[in-house]
Amino acid sequence: MFGWLRSLGARRAIPDALWTDVLVRYPFLSDRPLDEQIRLRELTSRFLDDKEFHGANGLVITDAIAVSIAAQAVLPVLYLGLGWYDDFVGIVVHPDEVLAHRTVTGEDGVVHNYGEVLTGEAMDGGPVMLSWHDVASAGESASQGYNVVIHEFIHKIDMRDGAPDGCPPLASRTSRKAWLGVMQAEYDAFREKVIVAERFGGDTPWLDPYGAESIDEFFAVACEAYFVNRPRFEAEFPALAPLLDSFFKGAGSTPE
């Protein structure tokens, strides 16, 4: 695997046939302007050169799997640069969702053990875990604004300045305050819609209800939709689209 990436230690371009197959599989990549596609391909190659992929539970990492994941992971940093991902190397890919065993100690000191089904997970300073089943179907799920790769890599960006809080590292306190002012208001409104839908039979929101769990999850879920289905996202969240533009198109801070 990846034999085409190196020639006497030099980075090589992704083969045309492989790149074309990935674009066909994920229309939200092929629909981007030509200059962005060129940049995407270049950064994808560099990403593959920098990261290590590991298959779990019998999954064999193929070039197609690695390029598919890398191309989607690069989308959020297309203008920001790969420096935002320099705090980790490993990407662990499972065939499907994973049951994670959790332990939580309550305020009363009682320890609670439970299982949580995961399609992905980002660890602060550590690897990213992904379900290949969800990655592979990202072309079809884009209509619902769903993308597990982008979700987890947004968490990595969010965690650059500490615990995830729905705000990436920004250049100033003023910028951060303005960002959170918009994000918190949008999160509160979305959470209310989810509650009304689940408890009182109201209309089901288009965006994944998981975004109502916390503001950092809302940020990650919103970014999924922003990158894979911009027209629908902009129609649903007219205040959020320009906010995300202001950061992801290069006006944000540098990685800390």
Q: Would you state the structure tokens that stand for residue 236, as one six-digit string? A: 């649903």
Taking 70 as the threshold, does the pLDDT of residue 253 lie above it? no
> What are the structural domains of the chain?
3-251 (1.10.472.150)
- Where helices occur in the chain by DSSP H, the ranges are 16-25, 27-30, 34-50, 63-74, 132-136, 138-141, 148-158, 173-200, 215-228, 230-236, 240-246
43-67 per-position pLDDT tens digit: 999 999 999 999 999 999 999 999 9
- Beta strand pairing call for 10-11 and 6-7: antiparallel
Q: Across the chain, what does the average pLDDT equal? A: 90
Taking 70 as the threshold, does the pLDDT of residue 162 lie above it? yes
- Report the pLDDT averaged over residues 15-21: 97
Confidence band for 250, pLDDT divided at 50, 70 and 90: confident
pLDDT, residue 111, reads 62
pLDDT, residue 125, reads 87
